[in-house]
Structure formats: structure tokens, C-alpha cells
Amino acid sequence: MSEINLAVQEITADMIARVDRGAVATYIPELAGIDPARFGIAVVDAEGAQHVAGDGDTLFSIQSISKVFTLTLALGKVGDALWQRVGKEPSGNPFNSIVQLEYEKGIPRNPLINAGAIAVADAILAGHTPKAVLGEILRFLRYVSDDETIHIDRAVAASEQATGFRNAALANYLRACGNLRHPVEMVLGVYFHHCAIAMSCRQLAMAGRYLAFAGRHPTAGGKVISAERAKRINALMLTCGHYDGSGDFAFRVGMPAKSGVGGGILAVVPGKASIAVWSPGLDAQGNSVLGSAALELLSRRMNWSIFGE
């Protein structure tokens, strides 16, 4: 068994035995019933080998991890002009903070908090219908993950649409500040549906390969994005990918990574691996407790912190 495989197996056994798992997100009713005992992990290495353990093939709601993919598409469409509408600084505030958006006059701190991702959804809507944009997001994910089965969980999207009042407040405030060009309902429709994409750890780790391997598509060949853009998206994931827990995650794990309230985390080790973990129990910042713990162990064991050995 390879060193990575052994690490993945042992870490999974360790995680399954742990009792401190955090609490499942309940503010999206459809996510509230997920079993907190689940744990999955998948690592795709530089040779393209897939190391998967636990519930690594179970589908879960990727939620905010989708923001990395919509950011990639928005940068492809509008390039650096995006940075006039969205900042690049860590927020130090909860993912759905309203007060910060008002304070900063409708320019969200970064594209990975909710307000920023809503502005990004507005940017990719330009000239398209919501249906066409969601089709484009799915096509992109299917292409980067080499998997045609990836789809949106409509029940999760409807659940969030019915209860996403804070996100509606953020979108309305963006619109009031002139930083939303399409009707609020239209933009939120895109946002809620891309957050509701269902993927497994294996599919997510495959999808993250272009970020881990300098923008390349390892199997189809060619570039998904430039190496420069991959580097920048990784920088944003490192500094902003865990909301107000980003500093702690960099301290403990040392990998660019993006979490979602479904309990997933996508992490990249540039040049070495694309990793996805999933466990639905969250900490106070909305990040997966076991997912972060597993990545911390893996980072130590494989010497994968980007900050040195």
C-alpha cells in the first residue's frame, strides 16, 4: 500500500472513532437531517491515482465550495474587472455578515463570503438566463471532474430559497449600492442552485485538480485556466476559504482550502494533490470539525503544509 493510501485509511479509522463531531447546520432545513456520523475522504495525487476511504463516494451538498468554481468562471468572463466589485481581503467576520457589507459600502470583502459570491453570480449572469448559467456551471464541473453525473439537488435549493432571508438581505443591499445588475430573485436563484450541487469527495477531489496542478486538466490535457490564475485562486482560498476560521485553518493545516456548511472541504497541495473531505458536523465558524482534523493529520503526515516541512 502506498504511503498516501495508508495515511488515508488510518486517518479515516481515527475520524470514525472520534466522538467530538460538531453540529450539523440546521438553518437550511434540508441539511438538518444528515447523519453527523458520516466521514469521507478522497485524495488525487500527481500521478492521477485516487485514494478514497469512508463515505468518500457518498454525495453531499457542496454549498460554499461551489464559490471556488463560480469565481473561476467569473474570472474567465470578466477577468480582473471583477476586483472592482469584490475585494481580496479576509473578512474576519461570519460568512453571512450583513454589518460588514454596509460598512464597506456594498463592496464585499472577498468572493468566498456569501455577499461576494452573490456578486460573482451576478457577474456570470451577464447576457445569460439563470438556466443557461447553471448549465454552464454544471458543464464546467463535469469537465474538470471527468464525471457526467454531477447534478443539482433541487430539494436543497428549494429549501434554501424558502429560508434564505439573510442572503436575500445581502443581495438587496448589494443592489441598493449598485453592485448587483440583475434582479435580486434572479441572482439568488443562481446562487442557491449552485450551492445545492451534490458531489462526493471523489468527484470534488477530481474537480480540484486544475487548482492543484497549475491550471492543467490532467486527463483531458490542456489548460482549464492559466497557472497564474490558479495561483491566485489558491491564494484566496488560503486567506478567505474558511471565513473567520481561515487563520486557524492556515495555522493548523497550511493548505489553500474551501469549506461549505454541508461539511465538505476542498483542499489543494500545489503540485502534489487535490483533496476532499466530508463530515457534516460543524464548528462555530461553520467549518467541518472532522474534515479540518483529518486535513491537519494528513498535512503533518505527508509534509503537505505549503509553509514548509
Q: Between residues 190 and 255, which has the closer beta carbon with respect to ligand GLU?
A: 190
Residues making contact with ligand GLU (CB under 6 A): 63-64, 95-96, 114, 160, 167, 195, 260-261, 286
- Do the Cβ atoms of 104 and 85 come closer than 8 Å? no
Place of cell 452573490: 118
CB of residue 271 to ligand GLU, shortest distance in Å: 28
In whole angstroms, the minimum distance from the beta carbon of 195 to ligand GLU comes to: 4
Q: Tell me whether residue 4 or residue 195 sits nearer to ligand GLU (CB atom).
A: 195
By beta carbon distance, the residue nearest ligand GLU is 64
For the CB of residue 261, give the shortest distance to ligand GLU in the complex, in Å. 4
Residues in the chain: 309
Closer residue to ligand GLU, CB minimum distance, 9 or 285: 285
176 touches 109 (CB < 8 A): no
Q: How far is the CB of 136 from ligand GLU (least distance, A)?
A: 19
- Residues annotated as catalytic (active site), given as ranges: 64, 67, 191, 243, 261
Residue position matching grid coordinates 472532522: 290
Number of H helices, E strands in the chain: 13, 10
Distances (CA, A) of 309 to 20, 43, 266: 28, 20, 21
Which of 140, 154, 145 shows the shortest CA–CA distance to 57?
145
